[in-house]
């Protein structure tokens, strides 16, 4: 039973982490861009500044870079400093939740549920600190949609959040409603909702990435690969899926589609270029299965 729950939880973790990278916020902190998604350069640049000389904004960016690079203890320490300083609490608590979620993969099976619930608690605190924080609101909703029941999954709780999301952002309401419809085995309705989300705005990357994920889960690998390919040249913000994640999903879709040569080439690009060790290991695992 523990093994089955562990497999279910890891599947949930992979889905939820992708979902919670997505939403944008009106906050300027949550919309900063990193040239070429190069979080290593960002971390090195800010890390070279004496801690006592860093601004809180720089500390936030360093915490983001540390999280992206898998330096989770450093990221937690920096985020704790931001929260203690009452700095942009919605953003800081949202980031804290993302870090806890990433830790789920690293802790042992007995700690996974508790660690995931720490992420949920941080996002709920973010909403309390900033009721208009769409990132945290979407993250809480995605948690309830995708978590196994034994870990707190609750579709009714997810549905209860839809009016709040609609009031803040109709496009993210479409995404959330689409995820719920998919979970309720309404694939046509889910595709309609996900397809109606705006794809020409500042977060068009998110809308298309979510649609590509839906096609992948629906085993429509050709359309999944085509959708991920469309994302190659879009400008990315820190909270958008990094190029390595986009290419990882594209490579996996191509493999499922049967285009093994193209899949191998894309996955090798991820393996050789990913800055995050988790994404690199994921690509290596996919390549080893050829």
Per-residue pLDDT of the chain (290 residues; tens, 9 = 90+): 444 445 555 455 555 555 555 444 434 455 688 888 999 999 999 999 999 999 999 999 999 999 999 999 999 999 999 999 999 999 999 999 999 999 988 888 888 889 999 999 999 999 999 999 988 999 999 999 988 888 889 999 999 999 999 999 898 899 999 999 999 999 999 999 998 887 666 668 888 898 999 999 999 999 999 999 999 878 888 878 889 999 999 999 999 999 999 999 999 999 999 999 989 999 999 999 99
- The domain at 199-290 falls in which architecture? Alpha Horseshoe (1.25)
Closest CA to 145 of 165, 126, 125, 127: 165
- With b for 16 or more beta-carbon neighbours within 10 A and e for fewer, the 133-146 pattern comes to bbbbbbbbbbbbbb
Exposed / middle / buried, residue 36 (Cβ in 10 Å: 0-12, 13-18, 19+): exposed
CA distance 218 to 210: 12
Residue 161: other Cβ atoms inside 10 A? 20
pTM of the predicted structure, to 2 decimals: 0.87
Identify the bridge partners of residue 237 per DSSP, sorted by sequence position. Answer: 33
pLDDT of residue 24: 40
Q: What share of the chain is helix, strand, coil (3-state, %, to 5)?
A: 75, 0, 25
Per-domain boundaries in the chain: 199-290
Tokens of 80: 């704790």
Check residue 25 and give its pLDDT: 41
261 with 226: CB under 8 angstroms?
no
In a 13 Å sphere around the CA of 201, the CA atoms on its Cβ side amount to 12
């Amino acid at each position: 039973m523990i093994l089955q729950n562990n497999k279910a939880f890891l599947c949930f973790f992979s889905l939820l982490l992708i979902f919670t990278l997505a939403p944008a916020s009106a906050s300027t902190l949550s919309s900063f861009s990193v040239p070429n998604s190069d979080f290593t350069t960002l971390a090195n640049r800010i890390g070279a500044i004496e801690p006592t000389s860093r601004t809180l904004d720089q500390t936030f960016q360093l915490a983001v870079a540390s999280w992206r690079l898998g330096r989770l203890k450093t990221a937690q320490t920096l985020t704790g400093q931001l929260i203690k300083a009452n700095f942009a609490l919605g953003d800081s608590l949202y980031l804290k939740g993302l870090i806890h979620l990433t830790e789920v993969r690293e802790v042992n099976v007995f700690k996974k549920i508790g660690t995931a619930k720490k992420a949920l608690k941080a996002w709920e605190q973010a909403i309390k600190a900033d009721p208009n924080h769409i990132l945290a609101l979407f993250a809480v909703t995605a948690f309830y949609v995708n978590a196994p029941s034994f870990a707190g999954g609750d579709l009714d709780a997810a549905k209860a959040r839809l009016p709040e999301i609609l009031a803040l952002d109709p496009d993210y309401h479409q995404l959330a409603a689409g995820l719920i419809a998919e979970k309720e085995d309404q694939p046509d309705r889910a595709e309609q909702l996900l397809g109606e989300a705006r794809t020409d705005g500042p977060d068009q990357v998110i809308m298309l990435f979510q649609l590509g994920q839906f096609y992948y889960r629906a085993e429509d690998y050709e359309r999944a690969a085509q959708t991920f390919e469309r994302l190659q040249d879009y400008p990315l913000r820190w909270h958008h899926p990094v190029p390595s994640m986009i290419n990882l999903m594209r490579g996996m879709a191509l493999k499922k589609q049967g285009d093994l040569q193209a899949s191998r080439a894309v996955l090798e690009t991820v393996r050789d270029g990913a800055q995050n060790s988790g994404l690199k290991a994921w690509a290596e695992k996919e390549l080893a299965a050829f």
